[in-house]
Structure formats: C-alpha cells, structure tokens
Copies of this chain bind each other. A is one copy, B any other.
Amino acid sequence: MSHTLGVRQAQKQKTRQALLDAALALLEEQSLSSLGLREVTRAVGVAPTAFYRHFRSTADLGVALVEEALGSLHPMIRHTVSPGEDSDERIARAVELIAGHVAAHPAHVRFIARERHGGVQPVREAIREQLARFAEEVRAELARDAASAGWSETDLRMLAGLYVDQMLITASLFLETLEAPEEERRRAAETARRQLRLISVGRAHWLD
C-alpha cells in the first residue's frame, strides 16, 4: 500500500503549486524583482498572508521555480549529447528536442532566460548551479565518446560549456520565434543546426 498524503498536506501542496503557476504566468510580462506577493495571491484567490505558509518571499518562490524549470531536465540533456549515431542526425534531433521543450514550456524557458542575469541574487545563484550541473553532465557524456580520445579535462569542460550555452541561446531564439510565422521558425532552426554543426566540425579537428 503506497504512502498517500493526508488531506491537509495534499491541500497545502495544491495551494503551493497554484502559487507557483500563478507567479510563472505573471512573470511572462515582468521580472521577478518586481513581482508582488499580493499579485500572486490575488491571482490564486487566497489571502495575501497565505503566501507566508509556503514561501518566505518572492525570491524564495523564484528559487522553487528554478528547480521546477530545470530540475527535471537532466535526463533529457544527458540523452541529447550521448555518443554514437551520425553527427548531423544527432544535431537535428537535439534542435527538435529544444524546439519541442520551448513549445511545451515557454513560460519556464522565459523565466530562466530572464532571471539568469536578473535582479534577484538567490535565483541567479540557483540557475548558475543547475547550469553547472548540466555542464558537468555534458562533460561526463563527452568523456565517454570515442571522439574525445586525447582531449584534456580542461578542453572537455570548455566544450561542455560551449554546448550548454549554445542550447540556451537556441532555446531563447525559439522563444522569440514562438509566435512568428512558420518560415521564420524554420530559419531559426536551420541557423541553430548550422551553429551546432560548426562546433562539431571544430571539435572533429581540434587535435589536428
């Protein structure tokens, strides 16, 4: 018999999630540093004071949003970079994966792009940590690839960082293109693929 939450805990979780969802929606048009606690509770339909039962501040809520936006992405990242298979096909698949993710979770992607350099220090720090984890996971995956024979640890980390940054750039490019005509989105995807391909070519000839 599985462990079920009590009624009270379940209701609390539900309210907490409603606060997170409402905040994320409000953050489509503003930054976290201007998001008001009363705005969020008003959107959910609870008293302002209820906020404090879940978060100490909007910054605290922001850190929770970082976990929600990036925490579940680690398996996907790993899978994207995994070795084997043809390079062009892997690139095409990675770009499609990013495009799909942006289409499925635009608000989360926008939040990360916006707050990565935003005005709230604990949130910047939380994003930095998650991205560092991504880079480390990509590095580990690259290290398993036969193409990485002879590469120094420094260079593997350098390349992993380049890939992570490029994924973010691609994601935020797709975000800007979300409401654009099909033609423009197609061009954005093509540019993203070529940039990744150029990095691949550089990688292939790095030790020449």
Which A residues are closer than 8 A to B by beta carbons? Answer: 27, 29-34, 110, 113-114, 116-119, 154-155, 157-159, 161-162, 165, 169, 172, 190-191, 194-195, 198-206, 208
Q: With A31-B119, A34-B34, A119-B31 in contact, do A203 and B195 touch (Cβ < 8 Å)? A: no
- Shortest C-beta distance, A39 to chain B (Å), equals 13
Give A71 to B48 CA distance when docked, in angstroms.
44
Give A31 to B33 CA distance when docked, in angstroms.
6
Interface residue SS majority, chain A: helix
Contact A113 B119 (CB under 8 A): no
Give A31 to B31 CA distance when docked, in angstroms.
7
Q: With A30-B33, A33-B30 in contact, do A198 and B118 touch (Cβ < 8 Å)? A: no
Give A33 to B34 CA distance when docked, in angstroms.
6
Contact A34 B172 (CB under 8 A): no
Q: Nearest chain-B residue to A192 (Cβ)?
A: B158
Q: Nearest chain-B residue to A198 (Cβ)?
A: B202
From B29, B30, B118, B158, A114 is in contact (CB under 8 Å) with B118
From B27, B31, B158, A195 is in contact (CB under 8 Å) with B158
Contact B194 A158 (CB under 8 A): yes
A200 neighbours in B (Cβ, 8 Å): 202
Give A200 to B162 CA distance when docked, in angstroms.
13
Contact B119 A30 (CB under 8 A): yes
Contact B162 A198 (CB under 8 A): yes
A208 neighbours in B (Cβ, 8 Å): 201
Contact B158 A29 (CB under 8 A): no
